[in-house]
Amino acid sequence: MPAVTQTEMMAGVLKGPLDIRVEKIPVFSISPGQILIEIKACGICGSDIRYFHGENPWALHTLGVERPNPPNIVIGHEYAGKVVRVASDRDKPLLNKNVAVVCFRTCGRCDDCKRGNDQLCKTTQHIGHGAGWGTMDYYPGAMANFCIGWGDLAFPVPDDFPMEEAAMMDVIAVGVHAARQGGVRPGADVTILGAGPIGSAIQQAAFALGARRVFISDIYDRALEIANACGATRTIHSAKEPVVGIVREETGGRGADHVFDTVGTEKTFHDSLDLLAPAGTLVNMAVHGETLSFKGTAIGSERCVKTSCNFKVDDFKLGLEWLLQGKLTVKPWITHRVSLPDLPKSIRMLEEKEKHGAFKIVVRP
Ligand SMILES: [Zn+2]
Ligand SMILES: [Zn+2]
C-alpha cells in the first residue's frame, strides 16, 4: 500500500488572513493514541470562512476571547476517511476501516473536563483550528490527503456508507448537543432561526428526540428547500413573512418550547425571546460581542436563555447512530463536490452561497 509510506502530500494551508494555498507539505506524524486517516471527504464549514478572514471563532465561542491564528494552519475539520496507520496496538483493529471522526481531543484533567463539561475544555487539541498543539510547522487539518485522528475518537462506518455523509458528523453532533442543551422532549414545539447546516442538524436532532413540530426560518431560498427536504413542519422566509406571528398562530398563541438562534443578531435574539412559550428554553448558537438588552419579563414564567458550544463525544455517537439508521439525512445538504486544488475558490463560492446555490461544499482530496 504506497499511501501508507508516502511522506509528502497536498494540503490547503492557511498562511495568514485571506491567503490560502494548496501546497506540498510533509504527511503528519502520529504519536501514541493517534491514527492517520486518508481523507475521503472534508466539508467546508462556515467557520473555515471566518478563519480565512483571520478570525478565530473557536477561541471566541469556547474561551470567550479574541485570539490570533498562527500561520500555516491546514484547515478542515469536517472529515471522514480510511485509517491507514496507527501508533498503538490498541488501534490496530481500525486499520483499513472507514471512519467518522471527532475532530478534537479534550485534556480530561481540567476543571471543565472533570465536571463533565469537556466540550468547554480550554486546552483542547483541535483539527483544522490550530488550537492546543503548541508551535508546529503545519497545524493538522483535513483539507489534505492525510490527517491525524485519535483511535478512541474514530468510529467505523460500513464500507458502503457514503464518506461525504460521514464527513457531516461534526455538524450533526453540534446539532445533537444543541438539541440536548435545549432539553427537547417528546411532543415539543421547536423554532429554529437560521436554516444553515447547523439549523438543519438541530431540526433533525429535535425530531429524533421526539419533537412534534419544527418551524425553521431563513432568508435563503435554497436553505428553506433543504429544510423542507429534511422534514421541517413549516419553513418561513424571514425577509417576506413574520416569523414570530406565524409561529404564534401555528401554536395557538403559546409560542415554541425550544427556540434555537443560529444567527445571533440583535433582531433574532429579540425574536427568539418573543417566540418562547412559558418554561421554554432559548439556545443561542452564535454569541457575539455586542451588548443585548431585554425586559426582565421576557424571561418570566421560567423561561431560560442559554448557549451551546461544540459537542460531547456522546452526542457524536448518538448522531452517528441516527445517521446510520437513516433517522436523519444529510444527502440534501451536499450541493457541490470539488477537488483539493479548488479549495481557495470554493471558500469564495461558499461566501457567495446565494449566487452559487451552495449549502455544503465537500472537498474530495
Ligand atoms: Zn464545522
Ligand atoms: Zn480539559
Indicate whether 83 and 40 sit together in one domain: yes
Q: Are residues 197 and 342 in the same domain?
A: no
CB of 43 closer than 8 Å to CB of 167: yes
Whether 12 and 152 map to the same domain: the answer is yes
**Cα separations in angstroms, 271 against 194, 246, 282:** 12, 12, 11
- Say if residue 137 is in the same domain as residue 211: no
User: Is 15 in the same domain as 154?
Assistant: yes
The reply to whether 103 and 72 lie within a common domain is yes
160 lies in the same domain as 185: no
Q: What pLDDT is attached to residue 179?
A: 98
For residue 321, the CA-to-ligand 2 centroid distance in Å is 26
The partner residues of 19 in beta bridges, in order of sequence, read: 16
In a domain, 325, yes or no: no
Which ligand has the shortest distance to the CA of 116?
A: 2
Q: Are residues 98 and 201 in the same domain?
A: no
162 three-class SS: coil
CATH of the domain at 256: 3.40.50.720
Expressed in angstroms and rounded, the spacing between residue 309 Cα and the centre of ligand 2 is 14
The mean pLDDT value for 90-99 works out to 97
Residue 194 belongs to some domain of the structure: yes
User: 300 C-alpha vs ligand 1 centroid, how far in Å?
Assistant: 34
Q: From the CA of 118, which ligand is nearest?
A: 2
Q: How far apart are CA 277 and CA 303, in angstroms?
A: 8
Q: What are phi and psi of 331, to 5 degrees?
A: -50, -50
- The sign of the dihedral angle between the CA atoms of 326, 329, 334, 340 is negative
**Nearest ligand to the C-alpha atom of residue 121:** 2
Residue 86: is its pLDDT beyond 50?
Answer: yes
The answer to whether residue 323 is domain-embedded is no
Pick from 263, 234, 231, 228: nearest CA to 246: 234
Residue 112 Cα distances to 107, 233, 281, 286, angstroms: 9, 37, 23, 21
The answer as to whether 314 is a domain residue is no
How many structural domains are present in the chain?
A: 2
320 belongs to a structural domain: no
Q: What is the whole-number distance in angstroms between the Cα of residue 150 and the centre of ligand 1?
A: 18
Q: Is the pLDDT of residue 3 over 60?
A: no
Q: What is the pLDDT of residues 240-292, one digit of tens each?
A: 999 999 999 999 999 999 999 999 999 999 999 999 999 999 999 987 778 88
Query: Do 257 and 189 meet the contact criterion of CB atoms below 8 Å apart?
Result: yes
Read off the CATH number of the domain in which 339 is found. 3.90.180.10
C-alpha of residue 24 to centroid of ligand 1, in Å: 24
317 within domain boundaries? no
Mean pLDDT (whole number) for 230-234: 98
Ligand in nearest proximity to the CA of 123: 2
Closest CA to 126 of 93, 172, 79: 79
318 located within any domain:
no
How far away, in angstroms, is 187 Cα from ligand 1 center? 29
The C-alpha cell of 118 is what? 469537556
Number of other CB atoms surrounding residue 116 within 10 Å: 10
Alpha-carbon span 191 to 27, nearest angstrom: 44
Same domain assignment for residues 157 and 129: yes
pLDDT at 2 over 70: no
Distance (Å) of CA 72 to CA 21, 141, 156? 10, 10, 30
Q: Residue 147 domain-assigned?
A: yes
Residues 203 and 342 in one domain: no
Its pTM stands at 0.96
Residue ranges making up the domain that contains 267:
175-307
Do 203 and 252 lie in one domain? The reply is yes
Question: 310 alpha carbon to ligand 1 midpoint, in Å?
Answer: 9
Report the separation in Å between the CA atom of 46 and the middle of ligand 1, taken as the mean of its atom positions. Answer: 7
Q: How far is the CA of 51 from the centre of ligand 2 (A)?
A: 23
CA of 287 from ligand 2 middle (Å) equals 22
Using alpha carbons, select from 81, 83, 103, 104 the residue that is nearest to residue 94.
83
Q: Looking at residue 65, what is its pLDDT?
A: 79
Residue 70: which of 111, 129, 118 has the closest Cα? 129
pLDDT of residue 4: 57
Same structural domain for residues 196 and 58? no
